[in-house]
Homo-oligomer: A and B are copies of this chain.
């Protein structure tokens, strides 16, 4: 067999634009491919829903790759250990209730699980705005190539429809802030001082639908609520992603 460059180009273009067109109407759009977003996307897609993760960077994983201060290890507490097991992420106990995992393994296993569940990834894409019509509900995302913004090009976006949107963009709470800035009745309070225990305890309460069609997860949930921050302990991230998935799935059934 002799490889043909044009067949390769055609294969990529045809496959992916097909996927893109087929995903212009999503059951759930998860914005941000960090730990909370990946967990959430994997669990929703695992129930047979059509899920897309929109990630502005080239790679998913967010801030988890760097561990704490560039030492690529993360800590997970007892409460979330079952999720490490679920995704096949190995760990070693440190002190009672503290488990240490390799950050690179955590990202890759979580991403692999999302892939296996059927999630489609749209990386290098940014959310510029949201679609809100007469029903006052977020019904889609206004997306563009991240490179358009990086190159300061003047190019119009396209729209991707979604029944539910999960804002898992971390401290920035990108989608929530867009809604707030343009007059939606939301207030993004910003994350508070460091207090890991409180932050990890309360994050599940803050993981909720804050605007019709919009659920916040992970640090975005704490940032909206003005909750404390927690540093490189990731149990809350996984659990918040799981909770967001449960909310979206329950709503879809309703």
| Chain A contacts to B: CB under 8 angstroms | 1-17, 19-21, 24-25, 58-63, 65-75, 77-78, 88, 90, 92, 94-98, 100, 102, 104-105, 107-109, 111-112, 115, 120-124, 129-134, 140, 142-148, 150-151, 153-161, 182-183, 190, 192-198, 200, 229-233
27 contacts between A and B (CB under 8 A): A5-B131, A9-B24, A13-B158, A15-B73, A15-B94, A16-B67, A16-B73, A59-B61, A63-B154, A66-B153, A66-B154, A66-B155, A67-B156, A69-B148, A70-B155, A88-B112, A107-B108, A108-B112, A109-B112, A112-B112, A134-B198, A146-B151, A151-B151, A156-B231, A158-B231, A158-B232, A183-B192
| Smallest CB separation, A42 vs chain B (Å) | 11
Q: Which 9 A-B pairs have the closest CB atoms?
A: A66-B155, A150-B151, A147-B147, A108-B111, A16-B71, A59-B59, A105-B115, A5-B159, A11-B94
Since A9-B160, A147-B148 are in contact, a sample of 6 more A-B pairs with Cβ atoms closer than 8 Å, ordered by chain A residue number, is A3-B200, A10-B24, A69-B158, A102-B121, A108-B108, A124-B155
Partner of A111, one of B77, B94, B104, B160: B104
| Smallest CB separation, A168 vs chain B (Å) | 14
Residues of B within 8 A of A72 (CB): 16, 121-124
Closest chain B residue to A110, Cβ basis:
B108
* Copies per assembly: 8
Q: How far is the CA of A126 from the CA of B23 in the complex (A)?
A: 28
Closest chain B residue to A11, Cβ basis:
B94
Residues of B within 8 A of A107 (CB): 59, 108, 111
Q: Assess whether B102 is in contact with A70, with CB atoms less than 8 Å apart.
A: no
Residues of B within 8 A of A194 (CB): 5, 129-132, 140, 142, 159
